[in-house]
Amino acid sequence: MTEPLSAGAAAERLRADHALLLAAVDGLSAPELAADYATAAGPLGDFCASLHDLVAHVLMWDEINLAVLTEADRGRDHWSLAPRFETAEVGRALNRAGVAAGRELAADLLLERLESTHGALLDQLAGYTDDDWRQRVGPLSTRVFTVPGRPSFWHAALHLQAVPA
């Protein structure tokens, strides 16, 4: 399921995933975003009770993954890659905390932050040479952008049950 992709293909998946999330929330008011909405559970459970929660959850994951790539570019491992953080228990705690934190933000601020982080991720991916991607960054990116047991570089689509065939 974690097929190797070029940096361009990975970026296209991230763009498509982002577009699916934006399509789901487009034109909704803050109360509509916060209304009950059933998302598909990931391997660690379901932490999202609304589309607002889903935006917060995907945003948190994107921000952590952006930090992973930034740290890797500096020759360091991000804290999230330490074995003690890569347990199901800690993953569930981080997911619950990220969604809870997102609930404290107004919908417009949360969406603005999502857009900014998404743009930064795409800029980061665009900055790698093909050699860097194949030898160093691609395997790390695939690892951190893959929900266990699912195709790589999809996240919102998994929760929205909208992964393209």
Per-residue model confidence as pLDDT tens digits over 55-78: 999 999 999 999 999 999 999 999
Which range among 20-34, 39-53, 113-127, 130-144 shows the weakest confidence by mean pLDDT? Answer: 39-53
Neighbours of 125 (CB within 10 A): 23
Looking at residue 84, its pLDDT comes to: 94
> Does residue 106 have a pLDDT over 90?
yes
Q: Identify the pLDDT of residue 160.
A: 92
Q: What is the model's pLDDT at position 40?
A: 84
For every residue of the chain, DSSP letters joined together read ------HHHHHHHHHHHHHHHHHHHTT--HHHHHSB-----BTTB---SBHHHHHHHHHHHHHHHHHHHHHHHTT---GGGSGGGSSHHHHHHHHHHHHHHHHTS-HHHHHHHHHHHHHHHHHHHHT--HHHIIIIIHHHHHHHT--TTS-TT-SHHHHTT----
Inter-residue contact 61 to 155 (CB < 8 Å): yes
More confident residue, 146 or 120: 120
Rounded CA separation 44/151 (Å):
16
Q: Which residues pair with 14 in a beta bridge?
A: none
List of residues 6+ apart from 69 with CB closer than 8 A: 121, 124, 137, 140, 141, 144
Residue 34: pLDDT band with limits 50, 70, 90: very high
Q: Average pLDDT for residues 110-120, to the nearest whole number?
A: 96
Domains of the chain (ranges; CATH) run 7-159 (1.20.120.450)
